């Protein structure tokens, strides 16, 4: 049972440290890239961070690190929102930012991580079923609160797949799912 508890400790840490879908092509985007590659979404991300820098000098690097984890619902919405940041006053949250975010790719990645965590745990715990493991995981982790996928996600999945019963991955999975919106 020690391995099972260590696996849950790793998983709770990885989702508590703080995705643009509209077609099958968009939903198949690699979440490990940690950035929506479409120009409209990247423009939104860049403009948001320029606004953050204007309002909080020195914020650009950290902003880009966080905002690049997100996905946009559509290029059109992202482009329209990006145009509002030039005149947006400091101290006010973006009115359009939350409507641009698509949480589904991050939630899907979080659910894949739950599956991988349970698969790794079950290799070492004969007394638990996959369904029991997932039920416990979903009781502890709300994947609907995921907003982004950070670099290292695929490495985390690979580490879980290769993990042994005596050495669960501890550092590879830390913080790969973002749960706080960057705006």
**Band of the pLDDT at 107, cuts 50, 70, 90?**
very high
pTM: 0.74
- Whether residue 23 is predicted with pLDDT greater than 60 in this model: the reply is no
- Whether residue 29 is predicted with pLDDT greater than 60 in this model: the reply is no
Dist. CA 45–CA 25, nearest whole Å: 21
**Could you tell me if 94 and 88 are in contact, meaning their C-beta atoms sit under 8 angstroms apart?**
yes
Dist. CA 87–CA 100, nearest whole Å: 18
The domain locations on the chain are 2-19+104-178, 34-100
**Could you tell me if 148 and 106 are in contact, meaning their C-beta atoms sit under 8 angstroms apart?**
yes
Dihedral sign, Cα of residue 161, residue 111, residue 23, residue 29: negative
pLDDT (tens digit, 9 = 90+) per residue, 137-182?
999 989 998 988 988 899 999 999 988 877 777 678 888 998 876 6
Per-residue pLDDT at 94: 65
Average pLDDT score over the chain: 77
Angle at 173 between CA 168 and CA 179, to 5 degrees: 140
Residue of 102, 87, 100 whose CA lies nearest to 51: 87
- Whether residue 17 is predicted with pLDDT greater than 90 in this model: the reply is no
Residue 139: is it exposed, middle or buried by C-beta count within 10 angstroms (0-12/13-18/19+)?
Answer: exposed
């Amino acid at each position: 049972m020690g391995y099972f508890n260590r696996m849950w400790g790793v998983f709770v840490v990885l989702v508590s440290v703080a995705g643009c879908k509209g077609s099958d092509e968009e939903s198949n985007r690699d979440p490990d890239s940690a950035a929506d590659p479409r120009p409209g979404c990247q423009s939104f991300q860049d403009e948001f961070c320029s606004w953050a820098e204007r309002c909080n000098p020195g914020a650009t690097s950290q902003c880009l690190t966080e905002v690049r984890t997100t996905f946009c619902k559509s290029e059109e919405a992202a482009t329209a929102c990006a145009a509002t940041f030039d005149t947006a006053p400091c101290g006010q949250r973006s009115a359009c930012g939350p409507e641009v975010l698509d949480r589904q790719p991050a939630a899907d990645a979080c659910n894949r991580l739950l599956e991988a965590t349970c698969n790794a745990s079950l290799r070492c715990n004969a007394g638990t079923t996959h369904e029991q493991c997932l039920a416990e995981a979903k009781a502890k982790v709300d994947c609907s609160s995921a907003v982004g996928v950070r670099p290292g996600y695929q490495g985390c999945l690979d580490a879980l797949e290769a993990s042994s019963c005596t050495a669960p991955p501890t550092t590879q999975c830390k913080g790969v799912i973002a749960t706080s919106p960057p705006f």
